Amino acid sequence: MSLATRISQAVKAGDAATVRDLLVATPERERRSQREEILAHTSRQLPPRERVPERRRAAMLAWLATSTSRELGGVVGVSWAGVPVGEAVDVLADRPRKTRNAILNSIVRNEWQRRLWPIVFEFVRRGDFNRPAGPEYAMGAVGHVVSATWPGADGRERSAEERVEVVEQMCTTDPGLFDEVIAALAHEEVATYVSHWAAGILEPVLARCGVMSRDDTIDLCLEGFLRDYKPSATRFFQRVWAALDVSEDELVSRVDRLARIAATRNPGAQWIAVQGFLNIGNGAVDVGSAAAAAEGALAGTTKKLAMVGLNLLARVAALDPDRAVRAAATGLGHSRADVQEAALAFLCGHIESSVDPTAVRTLLLGWEGTVAPHLQSQLAELVGLDTTSGRPDHNLVELQKRLDALDESARAAVGLTSVDLASPRLPAPLDFRPWDAPVLSADRRIPAIETVDELVEASVAALAGALDGTDVERVLDGIARLGSERLSKAAASAVRAQYEGVVAGNFGPARTPLLLLMRSWIDRMAPPPLNFYDLRTGILGRRQTVVGSLRTPRQRPTDNFVSLGLSPYDGGEYPANAGGFALVRMWELAHLVAAHRSTLLLATPTHAGGWIDPMVLVQRLERLASTSTVPGRFDVCQALLRVAPRPALEIGRRLGAIGGDVARAAARALGAEVDVSDDGLRRAAATRRTLGSPEVTVRVPARTEWAQSYALRFPRASPGGPRRRDDPVGLLLNGLASPPDRIPWWSGVNALLAPEARQEMSLAVTTMPRFADLYGAAVATTVVFDLNANRSTDVDHVTLAALLDPDVPLGSGAHSGLAVALIAKNETLAAVGADLFIDATEDGRLDVECLASVVVKLVDGGAGGLNRIAPRMTTAAAVSLLHADAVRRFWQVVFRDLATAPRDAHAGLQSLLQAGTLCGRGIDDGAARDTIEAMAAGSSKRAKYAREVLALADRWVSHRPELDAIDGRLDRAERWQAAADRATR
Amino acid sequence: MVDVLYRYRVPSAVLASDDATSLLLSTAGGRGANPVFFNGFAEDAPLAAKALLTVAEVARTRYFDPGARARSRDPVVTSNLDVLRFESFSGCNGVYARFDLDEGAVDGEFFDWGTTNVDMNQPMRTALAQVSRGEPLGVAVGADDLTVQTMDATEVEKKVPLPDRWVRGFAEVSVVMAGMRLVQEFGTAHARRILTDVPRIAAKRVGWITWTGGRARLTTRPGDDDVPLAGPERLGSLARVIPHVTGLRVYAPPAEHRKGIGGRPSAERMTVPSAWELVFDGARLALVLSPEAYRGFSGEGGVLLALSQVDQSDISAHGDALQGQAYIDPQPASRPILSALGAGGRVGFDLSRGGFFHRDLPFDRSAVETLQPRLLDARALIADGAVTAVEGGAEVRSGDTIYKVRFADEGLRCTCAWFAKHRGERGPCKHALAAALARVSTA
C-alpha cells in the first residue's frame, strides 16, 4: 500500500498521530514525490469542506508535512487554525532546514496563518529557529494567549474571571510562554494592541502577581513608561499600575526611574511620575528631579496633570524656591486659562523668595501677550510692565471728514444719521434690504461662457463636482445658448468620457440632474419623466433607477417638447426644495437640448449672489419674444426670485411692450400693479412685493424637550396654501418650515453622500438671494438635530458661508444659523460661524441680542452647552476691542435671559471675564448683574468667575469699540456710495 | 519598489559611563559602507534627544490611516561640515521632518561630509527618552573601529522596501520647500501656545490657520498670510520639544487661486503645503506637511514643469560639482537645475538659510531619477503621435478620448477630468504636459 493511500486512510479515520508517524518515518524526497497523490486523496478533508475536526486536523498535518511555504500559501480558503501543534512540530522537525524555516517565517509574517505561532515558538524554544526580532513574532505570542480566551468548542462566551484564569494557567504551566509575552510588550505595536484590543485579559493576570512577582511587575510597568511609546500604547501599563496600588516604599526605591519617566512626553506616564513624587515624603526626592517633573507636567496640554505639577512645585518651593519659580513659569504657556491663573498665583506668591527675582521677571517677559486677558494686567504688574499705553485711537478729524463727505441717504443707509464723535454711541445693528446694497455693481458681474471650448471644460468640471453654484449656472446658460451647436469630436469625447466615468463610478445622487442634462446634450436623449420621489428629494430617483436610465441606449428625442408651454411638467407633485427646483430647471433645459434647440435661460444670474439685473431680464424676455420661444415655468419662477429691484420707467415700458403673462409677472415682481392670470406666476411675483425678511422659526425636535419654536411666516402671498401644484415658489419657501422628519430644505441627499453635494449646495444658496436670511434658518433646522455630529461629509458650512457676503443682511434666520454653528461640534461649521461673527461685528450686521436669544433657547432647552461656544467667543474677542465688547454684550444677554444657570456656566463667565478685561468694561445690564450675583456665592469655579466678572470696572476712557463700529459703517457707506455713483454715470 | 538593505556594524545605542551618556548613531550607506561623520557633545542634551526622537517618530508613522502599521524606514543624517541634519519621511508620504544641529550647538569634530542612514532601534529610543537636563550627551555619528570593538555587538541588517512614491516624495519635498516664503514668525511664548493649540483643532477638512491675538484659529476666509492646514494633528509629533522652543517660523508657498472657468476668476484658494520650523538655540526642527492628510508629496505639480525644461547634461554637470556644501545660493538662473537636483534627491532646502544644501539620499535613486510617471506618460503620448497642434492649443488623444489643451494666459488648461477636478492645484495633467513639450520641441 502506498504512502499516500495509508495517509489517506489515516486522515479519513481522523488519526493525526498515525499521519504523523507515517510522515516522520518518510524522507523528504519521498514526501515530495508523493505529495500530489497525498493531496489528491485528502483535499476533501481540509476545512471548510470537512466538518469533522479530527479529520481536518489530520489532513492539515499531511499538507504541512509535504508542502513548501509557497505551496501552502497558495491554498485558498483554508483556515489552518487547529493544526495539532505537537504533531506538526514532529513532522516539520526533520524537514530540510531551509524548507522548514521558510514555513516558519511565513507563519511569523502571517502570510497564511498566524495562529500556528505555537509551532514557531516550539522551534525557538528548542533552539532550532532564531527568535525573530520583529514585532510580528511578538504579536503572535500575545495573540496566542489572547485567542485562548475566546469561546471554546462549545461556543460559550467566557466570563472575565474565566479568561483571567485561562491565561494565568497558560503562563504558570509554561514559563517560557510567559517570558515571550513579557518580551513582546517591548514592541510598541504589541503594547498598542494590548492597550486597545486585549484590555482586561493580561492586566488582571499581572496585577495578581501570581505569575510574576510584584516587584518585577512594578518594574515592568516602569519600563513600559520609559519607552518612547505613543501615549495610547502605554494604557496597558497604566491599568496594571493602577491595579497594583504601589506603596510609598516601593516608589522610594524607584525614584530615579520616576524622574526619568517624568521627562517623557506621555501624559499618562507623567501623571504617574508626578503623583509618585507627591506620595513620597520629603527627603527622598531630589529637588531637581521633582522640579523637572513638575515643569514637564506644566508643559503638557492636560489641566489635571498641570495642577498636580503645581502641587509638586509647592513642595519644591519649600526647599528651592528659585527652581520652583522657574519651573512654574512654564505654566503661563498652558492652553487652559485656569492653569495659567494657578501658575501666576504661584509666581506671585514665590517670586520674591527666589535667588534673583529680577532674572525671573525677565524670564516672564513675553508671556503677557499670550496669557488669558484677565490675567494680563496681573502679569504685567508682576514683571513691571506699563500697560497704560493702549492702542492708538482713531483720528477723529479724519473720521469727521469722511462722515461729511457722505450724502444723507448714504449715511441713513448705514445708520449714521446723527453721530457725535466726541461721545459716540454704538450704532444699532444694520437693518437693510438685500437690494439696498449694490448687488448689481460692476465688480460683482458674472461673465458668460463664450465658447464651446470653455463650455466643455466647465461641463467636465461640473460633472466632477468641482465648481461653485455660480459656475454651474454658467454651465446651464452655456448649454442653453451653445448646446444646439454640433460638438467637435474632441469636445464630445471629453464630456462623454467624464460622464461615463461618473456614471460608472460611485457618484452621489446629488449629481444626477447634471448627468441627466449632459446626456441630453451629448447624446440628444430626452430626459425620463420625473416622479414624486425625484421632486421631493431633488435627485433623480434611486440609484439603480438612475444608473439604469442613464445607461439606456440612444432613443429618439421625444417630440412632445418641440414647443414648450408654461407647464411642461404636468405630473403630480411639485418640488418642495431648492434641489428639486434645480432638478426641474435642468430637466426643462434637457428637453430643449435633446431636440437640438437653443434658448436663453431667464434665470441665469448676472451678478454674484444669484442676482439678475432687471434690465438684462427684460432683454432676455425681448429676445425670447422675438423668436416666439416660451420659457420654462421653473426658469421663469427662478428668475422672478432672483431679479433685483431697480425701478426704472424704461423697464416697465419695455415689459409692457413684450406683453404676455411672463412679462406681466416680471413687471409685478418689480413693483408694477399689473394683473397676472397664471396663479403660480402671480404668486412668484408676489413674494418679491413683500418687503422685509420674514420672521424665522427654528423648529425644535421633540426629543430635546423644549417646545419653544420660532415661526416661519411668509408674506401672505399664497392664500391657497403651500401644497398647491401651481405654486412652486410657495412650496419651495415653505419647505423650509418642514418638520424634522421631512426632507431638508435644499435636497434629500443623505448627508453621508454630501461630499459630492458641495457643488449642489452652493448652487442651492443662489436660489433666493432676496431671502438669503433663510439660508441661516436652513442651517439651524438641519444642524440642531445633531449638534454633536462632526462628519467630514457635512456641507452645512457651505450654506452658512453664503452669509459671509457683507451685502447680505442678517435677519433672525441668519442669527439662528450662526448660533447653531457656534454651538455645534463640527469645527468647520464653527469656523464659518466664527468668521461670520467676526465679520458681521466689524461691518455692523451682527445683532448681539438676536444671537444671544437663540443661544439662550438652545441652552435652556438642553440642545447645547456654553462650554462649546465659550472658547470660540473668547477667540473672537481677541480680534479687536469692538469684538471684545460685542462678546461682552453677548454674554450679558445670555446670562440675563437664561431661565436657569447651566452646569457649565463657569465657561461662559470665564469668556465674559476675558472679553470684559480686554475691552475694559464691566457689566452694565442690571438684570444680567442680578443673575451673576446670584451665582457668586460659594467656592465653585462658577462662583469665583462670577465674582471676578462683577468686579470688572470700567477702566476704559476711550471709545474705541464705538469708533471702530463707526469706522466699519463708513467703509460700507463709502463703498455703496461709490457703486451708486458708478451706476449713474 | 526599491529594496534597501541597511547593514550596520553595530546597533545604535546610548552608552552610559560614569561621567557621561553617549549616543552612538550607527550609520550605513552613502559615500561609504559605514561612514563616520562626527564625534563630540550636544550642548543641550534633552533637546537633542527629543528632537531625534521626533524625527524617529515621523519615520515610523502613517498619519493618514494610523491604524495601519507603518514600516519604519531609518532616518538619514547629513553632515555638511558645519551642521548635522537628521531627516525622515512618514510612511504616508505626507510629513517630512528635519532636525538641524548647527556647529554652535555641538562641541566636537566633524570628520567628513555626506549622507547616510542611521539606525533607530527601540532600546536606543527608550534610552533617549530618558535623557534629562544636567547630563552631558556625547554624540557620535558613525562608529569607528575602536567603538565597534568595545561594544562587542553584532552587525545589524535590516531589509526595508521603499516604495517608489515614497522615495520620490522624500526627494521632492526640497523642491516644495524652495518655493515657500516666510508667512509668520513668533517668539517663545506665542510659539509655544500655537504649537499646543493647533494640533488640537479637530478640523475634518482643510482649513486655514489665521493668527488672532497671538493665537491660531481656523478660518474659512484666508488672507495672504494664512496657512492652509489639513490634518493639524500631524503637528502633534512636535509635543516633545515644545518646552525648548524659542521661536516658530511658518512658511508656505505664495497664495494662489485655482484656475477659474470661462473667464471668471476662482475665489478658491489652492491648498498648499506648509512648513513649521521650530527654533532653538543653535538648532532647528522643521516639520513640512503635505496639502492634505491623505495626499503625499510625490509629483506635486511644480516639479514636473521644471524637470521637463532642464537638460540632463546640465543636471549631471551641476551634480558633479556637489561636495557637501551647506549652502547653495538659489540664483534664479540655477533654480530649474537645483529643482531638478532636488527632485533627484541630491539636494535639500534649508528654510532658515533660504538656500539649498548638498544631500544625496543614500538609497537607490533610480526611481527618483527616472522621470515622473506623469512626465513619462506625457512623453509616451508624444511618442505615440497622440498630440496634434490646433489653434491656441493642442488636441491630445488618450485611448478613445480626445482632450483639448489650451495655452491660455493663466496657464495650461485641459478638458480632462483630472484638470477639471484640480484646476491647476497639482500642476499640469499629462495631456497638458505633452502639449507643452510638443510645442517646445516644435519651436
SS (H, E, C) A740-753: CCCCCCCCCCCHHH
pLDDT at A506: 65
Q: How far is A878 from chain B (nearest CA, A)?
A: 5
For residue B270, list chain A residues with Cβ-Cβ distance below 8 A: none
- What average pLDDT score do residues A850-877 get? 90
Nearest by CB to B239, which of A265, A804, A876?
A265
Cβ of residue A463 closer than 8 Å to a chain B Cβ: yes
Cα→Cα distances B124→A181, A645, A940, A983, B11, Å: 21, 74, 47, 73, 9
Q: Does the structure show a pLDDT above 70 at B105?
A: yes
Contacts of A506 (CB under 8 A, 6+ apart): none
Nearest by CB to A831, which of B207, B240, B395?
B207
Q: Does the structure show a pLDDT above 60 at A388?
A: no
Beta bridge partners of A643: A612
pLDDT at A549: 52
Contact A666, A643 (CB under 8 A): yes
pLDDT at A282: 67
Selected residue of B12, B122, B160, B220 to mutate for chain A interface (largest A Cβ count, 10 A): B220
Cα→Cα distances A566→A605, A649, A678, Å: 21, 27, 9
Nearest by CB to B196, which of A135, A301, A478?
A301
pLDDT at A306: 94
Nearest CA in chain A to B214: A370
Taking CB atoms and an 8 Å limit, are A471 and B212 in contact across chains? no
- What average pLDDT score do residues A785-814 get? 84
Q: Does the structure show a pLDDT above 50 at B78?
A: yes
- What average pLDDT score do residues A94-104 get? 90
Tens-digit pLDDT profile for residues A537-558: 555 544 444 455 554 443 333 3
- What average pLDDT score do residues B63-67 get? 73
For residue B188, list chain A residues with Cβ-Cβ distance below 8 A: 366
Q: How many angstroms separate the most distant Cα atoms in chain B?
A: 79
pLDDT at B396: 95
Cβ of residue A232 closer than 8 Å to a chain B Cβ: no
Q: Does the structure show a pLDDT above 60 at A696?
A: no
Q: Does the structure show a pLDDT above 70 at B379?
A: yes
Selected residue of B415, B418, B426, B429 to mutate for chain A interface (largest A Cβ count, 10 A): B415
**How far apart (Å, rounded) are the C-alpha atoms in residues B261 and A451?**
11
pLDDT at B365: 65
Q: Does the structure show a pLDDT above 60 at A366?
A: yes
Taking CB atoms and an 8 Å limit, are B415 and A489 in contact across chains? no
**How far apart (Å, rounded) are the C-alpha atoms in residues B86 and B98?**
5
Average pLDDT value for chain A? 82
Cα→Cα distances A466→A896, A953, B418, Å: 46, 53, 11
More confident residue, B154 or A17: A17
For residue B420, list chain A residues with Cβ-Cβ distance below 8 A: 457, 460-461, 463-464, 466, 498
Nearest CA in chain B to A333: B193
Q: How far is B197 from chain A (nearest CA, A)?
A: 7
Q: How far is A457 from chain B (nearest CA, A)?
A: 5
Nearest by CB to B395, which of A135, A470, A490?
A490
pLDDT at A307: 95
Tens-digit pLDDT profile for residues A27-66: 999 889 888 888 888 877 776 777 788 888 888 888 888 9
Q: Does the structure show a pLDDT above 80 at A884?
A: yes
Q: How far is B348 from chain A (nearest CA, A)?
A: 28
Cβ of residue A879 closer than 8 Å to a chain B Cβ: yes
Among A93, A75, A94, smallest CA distance to A29 is for A94
User: Looking at chain A from residue 309 to 368, which residues have their Cβ under 8 Å from any Cβ of chain B?
Assistant: 330, 332-335, 366-367
Q: Does the structure show a pLDDT above 60 at A698?
A: no
Taking CB atoms and an 8 Å limit, are B220 and A828 in contact across chains? yes
Contacts of A698 (CB under 8 A, 6+ apart): A709, A710, A777, A780, A781, A784, A816, A820, A854, A857
For residue B57, list chain A residues with Cβ-Cβ distance below 8 A: 228, 230
pLDDT at A77: 66
Among A733, A436, A460, A766, smallest CA distance to A606 is for A766
Task: Indicate the range of A384-393, A514-523, B98-107 predicted with least confidence.
Answer: A384-393
Among B32, B173, B5, B52, smallest CA distance to B115 is for B32
Nearest by CB to A491, which of B190, B242, B404?
B404
Contacts of A51 (CB under 8 A, 6+ apart): none
Amino acid at B414: C
- φ and ψ at B323, to 5 degrees? -140, 50
Q: How far is B118 from chain A (nearest CA, A)?
A: 17
Instruction: Tell me the percentage of chain B whose pLDDT exceeds 70.
Output: 93
Tens-digit pLDDT profile for residues A750-795: 332 333 578 888 888 888 888 787 778 778 777 777 788 777 667 7
The answer, yes or no, to whether ipTM is higher than 0.95 is no
pLDDT at A751: 30
A474: its cell numbers: 454658467
Give Rg (Cα) of chain B.
23
Q: Does the structure show a pLDDT above 50 at B134?
A: yes
Instruction: Tell me the percentage of chain A whose pLDDT exceeds 70.
Output: 84
Tens-digit pLDDT profile for residues B162-186: 888 888 888 889 989 999 999 999 9
Taking CB atoms and an 8 Å limit, are A370 and B193 in contact across chains? yes
Instruction: Tell me the percentage of chain A whose pLDDT exceeds 90.
Output: 34
pLDDT at B183: 93
Q: How far is A945 from chain B (nearest CA, A)?
A: 22
- What average pLDDT score do residues A934-946 get? 94
**How far apart (Å, rounded) are the C-alpha atoms in residues A954 and A951?**
10
More confident residue, A144 or B310: A144
pLDDT level of residue A572 (50, 70, 90 thresholds): very low
Contact B351, B180 (CB under 8 A): yes
**How far apart (Å, rounded) are the C-alpha atoms in residues A313 and A242?**
24
- What average pLDDT score do residues B303-328 get? 81
pLDDT level of residue A949 (50, 70, 90 thresholds): very high
pLDDT at B301: 58
A683: its cell numbers: 404668486
Tens-digit pLDDT profile for residues B345-367: 889 999 999 999 999 888 766 66
How many Å separate Cα A553 from the centre of its chain?
41
Tens-digit pLDDT profile for residues A704-721: 322 223 333 222 223 333
More confident residue, A725 or B88: B88
**How far apart (Å, rounded) are the C-alpha atoms in residues A579 and A638?**
12
pLDDT at A769: 86
pLDDT at A564: 27
pLDDT level of residue A114 (50, 70, 90 thresholds): low
**How far apart (Å, rounded) are the C-alpha atoms in residues B429 and A250?**
66
- What average pLDDT score do residues A462-469 get? 90
- What average pLDDT score do residues A917-929 get? 92
- What average pLDDT score do residues A178-186 get? 91
**How far apart (Å, rounded) are the C-alpha atoms in residues A574 and A579?**
12
Residue ranges in A489-577 assigned as alpha helix (H): 489-504, 512-523, 532-537, 543-551
For residue A328, list chain B residues with Cβ-Cβ distance below 8 A: none
CB contacts < 8 A (A, B): 206
pLDDT at A969: 94
**How far apart (Å, rounded) are the C-alpha atoms in residues A223 and A217?**
10
pLDDT level of residue B72 (50, 70, 90 thresholds): confident
Taking CB atoms and an 8 Å limit, are B261 and A455 in contact across chains? no
For residue B267, list chain A residues with Cβ-Cβ distance below 8 A: 468
Tens-digit pLDDT profile for residues A191-247: 988 888 777 888 888 888 888 899 999 999 999 998 878 888 899 999 999 999 999
pLDDT at A692: 41
Give the HSE-up count for residue A202: Cα atoms under 13 Å, Cβ half-sphere.
32
3-state secondary structure of B177: helix
Taking CB atoms and an 8 Å limit, are A498 and B201 in contact across chains? no
User: Looking at chain A from residue 378 to 407, which residues have their Cβ under 8 Å from any Cβ of chain B?
Assistant: none
- What average pLDDT score do residues A972-984 get? 87
User: Looking at chain A from residue 300 to 319, which residues have their Cβ under 8 Å from any Cβ of chain B?
Assistant: 300-301
pLDDT level of residue A363 (50, 70, 90 thresholds): confident
Cβ of residue A455 closer than 8 Å to a chain B Cβ: yes
Tens-digit pLDDT profile for residues B17-36: 777 788 889 999 888 889 99
